[in-house]
């Protein structure tokens, strides 16, 4: 069994080389489609991607490895009720509806549940989470408006903003003084929208939403947050709930592809007039096939399920062992090594020991991992860290 990885992403921090471990369910190794294919790791050095090609690591066909590389935060992708809901939807509606979203209606129940969870007026589903960020900005903002975006927002936000004709302002990473400066400079705009990740996907840092909302209200701006790395377990509805600003955030966008079943799809919740406008003018919604019924069935069940997390256990044990763990109290747990090649070598050795990690992103804690899984991962980190001189 030959695992392979082709997931590439650019880091935000200088010299932020680190092992990528996302805590997920234990399962079989990842099968390569060709015996010649290698594992590709991406590590960061001085803010630039370093593409490292590693040799294939052969595993026994019967060997299970712990998957620490997924955003399956709540472990719901293999939850029996979630899986059964997908099977029932497949039997009832088929593999797909062969139509764009606005001419089919089995998705309405999921949209209603999501809007109720977020205590917003309405919700619109998209075929992908990327589409959910490609849709709103072009529709909402015109040449007389302004959008103020954190410089380390997700690529889908950046690309979505590029589609609109609004004036663009980029403020420094979570820098509230710079945000205020940009708000002052954009005061002549008709409408202003402050856009931020609720939790930043590479570093696990939580946006200072309370102060962002304070500034937005002071200068008459709206607030848009991306909750892909928060929905379901931070709050648990999201960072706006956790930080007590649900009634001050105007638009929330998130995903079904991480904590909520891990399949596919994204959505936007907010005021009904906004959602009505998106249904009429948002191109990714109007011109993309609707989410497949099995995905809708799985996600509908997932939004109703609760979960726990083991974040503190992993962070504490790794820190006690001598590793440097960055970020805030979030499932993304950056294990900072500072060297691209070292990160790749450690990831290679950890895979041989049955723990699948990546040398570019960071550990993500999932409810699917048992205490024993986390202990095993920490032990493998310690073993490989000592081998490569990271720990004494």
Q: Return the DSSP state at 16.
A: -
| Phi, psi of 21, rounded to the nearest 5 degrees | -130, 120
Q: In the predicted model, is pLDDT for residue 246 greater than 60?
A: yes
Q: What is the pLDDT of residues 268-315, one digit of tens each?
A: 999 999 999 999 999 999 999 999 999 999 999 888 774 334 566 777
Q: Give pLDDT, residue 253.
A: 97
Closest Cα to residue 318, out of 381, 372, 361, 388?
381
Closest to 23 in 3D by CA, of 364, 367, 385, 348: 364
Radius of gyration of the chain (CA): 21
- CB neighbours of 68 closer than 8 A, spacing ≥ 6? 21, 22, 23, 24, 355, 356, 357, 363, 364, 377
Closest alpha carbon to 131 in 273, 307, 321, 290? 290
pLDDT digits (tens, 9 = 90+) for 96-144: 988 887 666 679 999 999 998 898 999 999 999 999 999 999 999 999 9
**pLDDT at residue 332, rounded to an integer:** 67
**pLDDT digits over 30-59, tens only?**
333 333 333 332 222 333 333 222 223 334
Of 164-168, 213-217, 321-325, which gets the smallest average pLDDT?
321-325
Class for domain 78-302, per CATH? alpha beta
The residues spanned by each domain of the chain are 1-73+362-392, 78-302
State the pTM of this model: 0.70
How far from chain centre, in Å, is Cα 166?
Answer: 26
| Distance between CA atoms of residues 381 and 379, nearest Å | 5
**Three-state SS at 259:** coil
Contact yes or no for 212/230 (Cβ under 8 A)? no
Interval 10-24 mean pLDDT? 40
Residue 156 has pLDDT above 60, yes or no: yes
Report the first-to-last Cα separation within the chain, whole angstroms. Answer: 33
More confident residue, 171 or 344: 171
CB-based contact 49:10 (threshold 8 Å): yes
- Which of 20, 16, 2 lies closest to 364 in space, CA to CA? 20
Active site residues: 201, 229, 258
Q: C-alpha angle with apex 160: 155 to 161, nearest 5 degrees?
A: 100
Q: Which residue has the higher pLDDT, 24 or 19?
A: 19
- Integer Cα distance of 88 and 384 in angstroms: 45
| Max CA pair span of the chain | 65
Of 83, 64, 57, 81, the closest CA to residue 3 belongs to 57
């Amino acid at each position: 069994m030959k695992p392979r990885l082709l997931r590439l992403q650019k880091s935000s921090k200088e010299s932020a080389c680190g092992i990528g471990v996302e805590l997920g369910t234990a399962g079989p190794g990842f099968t390569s489609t060709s015996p010649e294919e290698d594992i590709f790791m991406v590590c960061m050095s001085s803010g630039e991607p370093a593409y490292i090609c590693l040799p294939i690591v052969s595993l026994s066909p019967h060997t299970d490895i712990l998957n620490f590389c997924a955003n399956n935060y709540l472990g719901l992708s293999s939850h029996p009720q979630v899986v059964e809901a997908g099977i029932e939807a497949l039997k009832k509606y088929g593999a797909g509806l062969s139509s764009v979203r606005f001419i089919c209606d089995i998705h309405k129940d999921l949209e209603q549940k999501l809007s109720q969870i977020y205590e917003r007026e309405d919700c619109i589903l998209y075929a992908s989470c990327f589409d959910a960020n490609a849709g709103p900005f072009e529709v909402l903002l015109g040449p007389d408006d302004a959008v103020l975006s954190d410089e380390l927002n997700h690529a889908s936000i950046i690309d979505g903003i590029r589609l609109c004709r609004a004036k663009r302002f980029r403020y420094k990473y979570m820098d509230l003084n710079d945000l205020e400066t940009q708000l002052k400079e954009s005061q002549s705009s008709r409408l202003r929208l402050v856009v931020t990740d609720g939790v930043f996907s590479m570093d696990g840092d939580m946006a200072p939403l309370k102060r962002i909302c304070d500034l937005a209200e002071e200068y008459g701006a709206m607030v848009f947050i991306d909750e892909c790395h928060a929905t379901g377990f931070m709050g648990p509805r999201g960072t706006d709930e956790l930080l007590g600003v649900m009634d001050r955030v105007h638009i929330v966008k998130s995903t079904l592809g991480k904590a909520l079943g891990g399949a596919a799809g994204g959505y936007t919740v907010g005021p009904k007039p906004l959602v009505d406008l998106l249904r009429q003018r948002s191109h990714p919604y109007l011109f993309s096939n609707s989410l497949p019924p099995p995905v809708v069935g799985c996600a509908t069940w997932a939004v109703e399920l609760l979960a726990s997390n083991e974040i503190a256990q992993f962070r504490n044990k790794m820190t006690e062992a001598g590793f440097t763990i960055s970020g805030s109290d979030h499932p993304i747990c950056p294990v900072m090594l500072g060297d691209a090649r070292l990160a790749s070598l450690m990831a290679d050795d950890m895979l041989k020991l049955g723990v699948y990690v990546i040398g570019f992103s960071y550990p993500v804690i999932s409810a699917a991992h048992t205490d024993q899984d986390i202990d095993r991962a920490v032990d493998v980190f310690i073993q490989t860290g000592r081998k490569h001189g990271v720990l004494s």
